[in-house]
Structure formats: structure tokens, C-alpha cells
Amino acid sequence: MTVIRLTRMGRKKRPFYRIVVTDSRKRRDGGWIESIGYYNPMVEPEVLKFDKERLEYWKGVGAKLSDKVKSITSK
């Protein structure tokens, strides 16, 4: 099953995240199919940028959203 979730990037204690489409059996930071955006909670205000068309496409073909991705994209 494909899932849309966050993968951690950045350095120690300064994380930012990419919003990626991946196989649910892969590790959090393992390979991914497509990167559709990013999320940076460390700056004020938080930065969230993603491609809404690609998100809707992947949801349309059956990809599930992780809880965190669901909460930040609904803001």
C-alpha cells in the first residue's frame, strides 16, 4: 500500500521534513516514489508547501495519509 508521510531531513536538532509518497513497508527515511512538498516547523511562522494536485492524485489512486500529514495539510 502507498502512504503519504513525512521523511526527516536537516541536521541534528534542526529538522525539516519532506512530504513524500512511499510504500508503507519502507522505513521512515527509506526510498520514496515522489516528493510532493516540505514542512519546516523550526521557523516562525511554520512553513508548509506542497503540490495540492499531486496530493489529490495520490489520494485518488488509493494512497493513505499519515496522521501528521493529515493534520498539517488540513490547516
For residue 73, being part of any structural domain is answered with: no
For residue 75, being part of any structural domain is answered with: no
Q: What is the pLDDT of residues 1-42, one digit of tens each?
A: 899 999 999 999 999 999 999 988 888 777 899 999 999 999
d(CA 18, CA 49): 10
Beta strands per DSSP E along 1-75: 2-11, 14-23, 34-40, 47-50, 64-65
For residue 70, being part of any structural domain is answered with: no
pTM over cut 0.75: yes
For residue 71, being part of any structural domain is answered with: no
- DSSP conformational letter for 44: S
For the domain that residue 19 is a member of, what is the CATH number? Answer: 3.30.1320.10
* Domain interval for residue 37: 2-64
Q: Extract long-range pairs of 70-74: CB within 8 Å, 24+ residues apart.
A: 72/39, 72/48, 73/19, 73/48
Cβ–Cβ under 8 Å, residues 22 and 9: no
